[in-house]
Amino acid sequence: MHELSITKKIIEMIEKECSKNNIKKPDKIHAEIGELTTYKKEPIKYYFDILKKENHLLKKADIDMKIINGKIKCKDCKKENHIKEKYLILCPECGSGNIDILDGEDIRLKQIEGE
């Protein structure tokens, strides 16, 4: 059910971007979901399709969501690696827990197509 609340936040982000860029009729929204978030794209798409019916601006818009891989960099061995989960992250190269998460933790709007 937490996908419903994040979908509402995504819609708020879309509305702000449309207002800022003077887009009156968005057709296609391109978004990215980090693999390390707990969100799944199918429920977000489902809730978007329901909520857009109540939203004059987004009535005809479609959302395209791409999954962004989780990526870490080990501070000890300096290697970058792909990870799928955020829990108990250890470097697969050296086993260190001294890592930075580089990507995959957030949701981003990439592009809004429309007039």
CA pair distance 97, 101, nearest whole angstrom: 11
- In this predicted model, what pLDDT tens digit does every residue of 55-113 receive, in sequence order? 999 999 999 999 999 999 999 999 999 998 887 789 999 999 999 999 999 999 999 99
Fold of 2-70+104-114: hypothetical protein PF0899 fold (3.30.2320)
The rounded distance, in Å, linking the Cα atoms of 106 and 104 is 6
Beta bridge partner(s), residue 68: 34
Tokens of 32: 């990215």
As a whole number of angstroms, the distance between CA 69 and CA 44 comes to: 18
Contact predicate 72/80, CB 8 Å: yes
**Ranges of each domain in the chain:** 2-70+104-114
